[in-house]
Amino acid sequence: GQNIDQPTEMTATEGAIVQINCTYQTSGFNGLFWYQQHAGEAPTFLSYNVLDGLEEKGRFSSFLSRSKGYSYLLLKELQMKDSASYLCAVRDPTNAGKSTFGDGTTLTVKP
């Protein structure tokens, strides 16, 4: 089976940088997704990593280390609107139809 761990909550200050970690234990690996979910809204796709290293998309970057079973989402120049839950997810390596999501990290950005 697949298991994903994320911190439950984080708090950061507007304008700062925050790193949200995700560790996974899977029977194989074919990439990891990050989604953003504002309270009461639908999750939206942020990034996908399948190779080791950092991928940058504007203020958001995502990092992957396959050997360590570890990923993080880096948010720079935090804005109040970044207050949301951040979910990491993987697809089952033997059956891409099945997806496993972490419980999500709720980020609160304070002025």
Partner 1 sequence: EAQVTQNPRYLITVTGKKLTVTCSQNMNHEYMSWYRQDPGLGLRQIYYSMNVEVTDKGDVPEGYKVSRKEKRNFPLILESPSPNQTSLYFCASSLSHGFNQPQHFGDGTRLSIL
Residue 42 in contact with partner 1, rule: CB under 8 A: yes
> Closest Cα partner for 101 from 47, 28, 35, 29?
35
Residue located via tokens 């280390």: 65
Q: Looking at 54-62, 64-72, 75-83, 91-99, which segment touches partner 1 (CB under 8 A)? A: 91-99
Q: Looking at 16-24, 43-51, 56-64, 67-75, which segment touches partner 1 (CB under 8 A)? A: 43-51
Give the one residue of 44, 65, 79, 108 binding partner 1; rule: CB under 8 A: 44
Give the one residue of 16, 98, 108, 110 binding partner 1; rule: CB under 8 A: 98
Q: Is 24 helix (H, G, I), strand (E, B) or coil?
A: strand
8 A C-beta contact, residue 65 and residue 50:
no
